[in-house]
A and B are shown apart, each in its own frame.
Chain A
Amino acid sequence: MKAFFDKVIVGPLQEVVRKIVAFLPSLLTGILVFAAGLVLAWLVKLLVVRIIRLFKLDATLARAGVPDALKKMAVKDPPDRLIGRTFAWLVAFIFFILALKVMKVPVIDELLEKLLLYVPNIIVALVILTLGWLLANFLGRAALIASVNAGVKLASLLSRGVKAVVLLFAFVMAFEQLGIGRHTVVAAFAIAFGGIVLALALAFGLGGKDLARKFLEKRIRKDGEAGPDDLKHL
């Protein structure tokens, strides 16, 4: 009975304890590496915020309308702190990976390998989203100014539409890069975009036929009839 008890209970328990004891140094090293990473991340955050303020990049970001855009996305932190925090998380993440590596657990190693291979996709997707956001703002403002100068009453709506379409493009490209619902997203985008175009065509065709007629008349009519006034600006 004792031999059976030793074989079934004590033996495996001793084996577990032995493995835990053998794993303890690696675990301790991992915890130390991660703790060092957290301290470093905190320092990096302070440094990045200091650099941004030193070179007045926060003022540049403010002029570019970044704080307003962040507020619209319910982000309360100012851009400099947000960037600092992003860098801190990046450092913490890198040290977390290092800590896991140090612990040499086969399953975690395998998972890490897959994660690391996926990281470039995340970076590319973030770059696509950032560029898309900048382009959307630029084109949105260009459309707004052009339509105001053309006397279009719905200039603001038009501008928001242009911005939304560019952002939609950016999101679709980013999702495709991440491999999330690749076919579904593209199909949904095609349906949504086609739908918008069709809706606009119907809206203009039915609701705006008089406007279109006036527009064409204005474009086609002879020079003698042109111009609402005779001002010569130059």
Chain B
Amino acid sequence: MSDRPADPSRNEPGNVPAPDVEILVGIPSFNNAATIGHVVRAVEAGLTKYFPGHRSVLVNSDGGSTDGTTDIVREASVDYESILVDHRQGGLRKLVTPYHGIPGKGSAFRKIFEIARELGVRACAVVDSDLRSITPEWIELLVKPVLEEGYEYVAPYYLRHKYDGTITNTIVYPLTRALYGKRIRQPIGGDFGFSGRLASLYLDKNVWESDVARFGIDIWMTTTALATGARICQAFLGAKIHDAKDPGADLSAMLHQVVGSVFGLMEEYAGTWRPVRGSEPAPTFGFAYSVGLEPIHVNLDRMMEMFRLGIKDLGPFYRSFLPQEVLAALDGLAGETDRDRFVYPDEAWVRTVLSFALACHRQVASREHIIKSLTPLYLGKVASFVIATWDSSAEDVEKRLEELCLAFERDKDYLVGEWESKA
């Protein structure tokens, strides 16, 4: 039997701890029994080890798991003797609560924000429940910049496999960076730190019936922080190894929720991003190091086949909003049989993404149709990227992504000009 610095109370839904809590760590979950025990133990250890003098609460916001996820959260405990030299005094409580509303990560976060406001916490962090690589240090890195350095939003910075997070790498990161002028490398990372004030601001926004309530929550939190002028930094968390997000969700639905949120936020914050040119790095905390990452299998033929099918069948639809030069490039690429010459140029890809954003802005068709029709082109770009970087190291891939980001930044004038000349 191990000694514990604090005796976490096993609270039931609605039994909110007394309002003298300083730190809140939220974990959204839905059927994550395989991984959530490790995440809860890492959070408990992190809070106890790095914030022993602070009262903390761990909130598990669950979407009605049927695999015993909530039981595992309640029962998970840390062997403190193995991680602490001395018995530090903390005040950790644990709260397991269901969330209501549209099923999804965003609704889970809403519950976490509500509890944060009710408790009046100073700093919050949220971490995904499917993480396999989280360590106690993640909590320190996500919470300390808020608690001690005066930052309001801490975005994660991970080492990921070069082909992990392809929507982030090819669309969300370069576009967000070009729009708002800050280099937040993982804007939809999923694990964030933020102030109690920002949590309260999030809660006041009327977005909880939109895609923000689903996969759109991450980009919405980052963009709102960027656009409202919050002090932002990044925390280097090491490797991110996690289960695939909602294996049941298909790619076009994910793309619709995430990219649709980015485009929707462009409408809301047009006044903020239009004057911005170029980008600047965000301060980064943590000790950067290299980690080994296992190779993964990529089915290039399938992606290229999907791209060709999209060009063949959706061509007439694309012609209603894609520029002529992009259409010509796409037609040429679709006819390319030599895999080594299958290259989707950065400039054409940038124009493609911007044209989709403009098509949504001009309402040329249903927003859902426009964004879902991006799927084959996205797969074409991913296939081209994989072919170009198959033998590249992680550092070389980062350099390659930097070139893509600069291409997005170079085309900002085009976007602003076209945006303002809305037909």
Q: Is B329 an interface position by the 8 A CB rule? A: no
Give per-residue flags for B245-270: 1 if the beta carbon is below 8 A from chain A beta carbons, else 0: 10100111011001000000000000
Contact B317–A149 (Cβ < 8 Å):
no
Interface size on A, residues (CB 8 A): 28
Q: Which residues of B contact A56 (CB under 8 A)?
A: 423
Q: How far is the CA of A142 from the CA of B367 in the complex (A)?
A: 11
Contact B309–A148 (Cβ < 8 Å):
yes
Contact A146–B299 (Cβ < 8 Å):
no
Instruction: Give residues of chain B (390-423) contacting chain A, Cβ–Cβ below 8 Å.
Output: 423
Q: How far is the CA of A19 from the CA of B167 in the complex (A)?
A: 86
Q: Is A228 an interface position by the 8 A CB rule? A: yes
Contact A145–B245 (Cβ < 8 Å):
no
Q: Is A234 an interface position by the 8 A CB rule? A: yes
Contact B296–A231 (Cβ < 8 Å):
yes
Q: Is B208 an interface position by the 8 A CB rule? A: no
Q: Is B109 an interface position by the 8 A CB rule? A: no
Q: Is A181 an interface position by the 8 A CB rule? A: no
Binds B, one of A75-83, A109-117, A151-159: A151-159
Q: How far is the CA of A226 from the CA of B243 in the complex (A)?
A: 14
Q: Is A138 an interface position by the 8 A CB rule? A: yes
Contact A234–B167 (Cβ < 8 Å):
yes
Contact A234–B376 (Cβ < 8 Å):
no
Contact A148–B376 (Cβ < 8 Å):
yes
Contact B168–A234 (Cβ < 8 Å):
yes
Q: Which residue of A lies closest to B296 (CB)?
A: A230
Contact B372–A146 (Cβ < 8 Å):
yes
Which of A63, A141, A233 sits near B166, CB closer than 8 Å?
A: A233
Contact B373–A145 (Cβ < 8 Å):
yes
Which of B251, B298, B305, B372 sits near A230, CB closer than 8 Å?
A: B298
Q: Which residue of A lies closest to B169 (CB)?
A: A233
Q: How far is the CA of A231 from the CA of B306 in the complex (A)?
A: 15
Q: Which residues of A contact B39 (CB under 8 A)?
A: none
Q: Which residues of B contact A142 (CB under 8 A)?
A: 366, 369
Q: Which residues of A contact B298 (CB under 8 A)?
A: 229-231
Q: How far is the CA of A56 from the CA of B363 in the complex (A)?
A: 14
Q: How far is the CA of A145 from the CA of B314 in the complex (A)?
A: 7
Q: Which residue of B lies closest to A153 (CB)?
A: B309
Q: How far is the CA of A158 from the CA of B407 in the complex (A)?
A: 38
Q: Provided the pairs A65-B320, A149-B252, A151-B306 are in contact, do residues A231 and B163 lie with their beta carbons within 8 angstroms?
A: yes
Give per-residue flags for B162-184: 1 if the beta carbon is below 8 A from chain A beta carbons, else 0: 01111110000000000000000
Contact A155–B164 (Cβ < 8 Å):
no
Closest 9 pairs between A and B when the two form their complex, measured CB to CB: A229-B299, A230-B296, A228-B299, A149-B252, A233-B167, A149-B375, A63-B364, A155-B313, A234-B245
23 contacts between A and B (CB under 8 A): A63-B362, A63-B364, A65-B320, A141-B366, A146-B372, A148-B375, A148-B376, A149-B251, A150-B250, A151-B305, A151-B306, A223-B247, A229-B296, A229-B298, A231-B166, A232-B244, A233-B166, A233-B167, A233-B255, A234-B167, A234-B190, A234-B254, A234-B258
